[in-house]
Structure 1
Amino acid sequence: MVLFGALINALLIIIGSLIGRLLKGIPENMKQTVMYAIGIVVIVMGVQMGLESSNFVIIIICIVLGAVVGEWIDIDKWINRLGQMIELKFGSKKQDGSIAQGFVTSTLIFVIGAMGVLGALNSGLQNDHDLLVSKGIIDGFTAVILSATLGIGVILSSIPVVVYQGAIALLATQITRLVPEAALEMFLQEMTAAGGIMIIGIGTNLLGLTKIRVANLLPCLVFVGIVVAIIF
Structure 2
Amino acid sequence: MLPLGSLVNALAIILGSVIGMLLHNRFPERVRAIVFQGLGLCVLLIGIQMALKVENILIVIFSVLLGGILGELLNLEGLFEVLAAKLKAVVRSRNASFTDGLITSSLIFCIGAMAIVGSFDEGIRGDATVLYTKSILDGFASVALASTYGAGVLFSFLPVLLYQGGLTLFAGVFQQYFTPQLIAQLTATGGVLILGIGFTLLDIKRVKLSNLLPALPMVVVLTLIFG
Give the TM interval when normalised to the shorter protein: over 0.9
Tell me the secondary structure at the aligned position of residue 156 of structure 2: helix
Q: Which moved more, 1:160-169 or 1:70-79?
A: 160-169
How many correspondences in the alignment? 225
Q: Which residue of structure 1 aligns with residue 205 of structure 2?
A: 210
Unaligned runs of 5+ in 2: none
The question of 1:139 aligning with 2:142 is answered: no
Q: Which residue of structure 2 aligns with residue 64 of structure 1?
A: 65
Moved over 6 A (4+): none
CA contact (8 A) 1:2 1:127 kept: no
Paired with 1:117 and 1:42, the residues of 2 have a C-alpha distance of 16
Q: Which residue of structure 2 aligns with residue 189 of structure 1?
A: 184
Q: Which residue of structure 2 aligns with residue 150 of structure 1?
A: 149
CA contact (8 A) 1:81 1:100 kept: no
Q: Which residue of structure 1 aligns with residue 34 of structure 2?
A: 33
| Residues 180-222 of structure 1: per-residue CA shift (max 9 Å, x gap) | x5xx211211111111111111111111111211111000011
Change (3 A) 1:168 1:86: closer
Q: One-letter code of the match for 1:71?
A: E
| Residues 11-63 of structure 1: per-residue CA shift (max 9 Å, x gap) | 11111111111110111122122222211211121111111112211111111
Change (3 A) 1:91 1:141: closer
Paired with 1:44 and 1:117, the residues of 2 have a C-alpha distance of 18
The question of 1:159 aligning with 2:158 is answered: yes
Q: Which residue of structure 2 aligns with residue 10 of structure 1?
A: 10
Q: Which residue of structure 2 aligns with residue 42 of structure 1?
A: 43
Paired with 1:132 and 1:45, the residues of 2 have a C-alpha distance of 16
Deviation at 1:122, TM superposition (A): 2.6
Q: One-letter code of the match for 2:121?
A: N
Q: Which residue of structure 2 aligns with residue 85 of structure 1?
A: 86
Tell me the secondary structure at the aligned position of residue 11 of structure 1: helix
Q: One-letter code of the match for 1:190?
A: Q
Change (3 A) 1:81 1:74: same
> TM-score normalized by structure 2?
0.92
CA contact (8 A) 2:146 2:152 kept: yes
Deviation at 1:88, TM superposition (A): 4.0
Unaligned runs of 5+ in 1: none
Change (3 A) 1:199 1:144: same
Supply the RMSD in Å over aligned alpha carbons.
1.6
Deviation at 1:168, TM superposition (A): 2.3
CA contact (8 A) 1:82 1:100 kept: no
> TM-score normalized by structure 1?
0.90
Tell me the secondary structure at the aligned position of residue 53 of structure 1: coil
Deviation at 1:151, TM superposition (A): 1.8
Paired with 1:88 and 1:164, the residues of 2 have a C-alpha distance of 23
Q: One-letter code of the match for 1:136?
A: S
CA contact (8 A) 2:95 2:151 kept: no
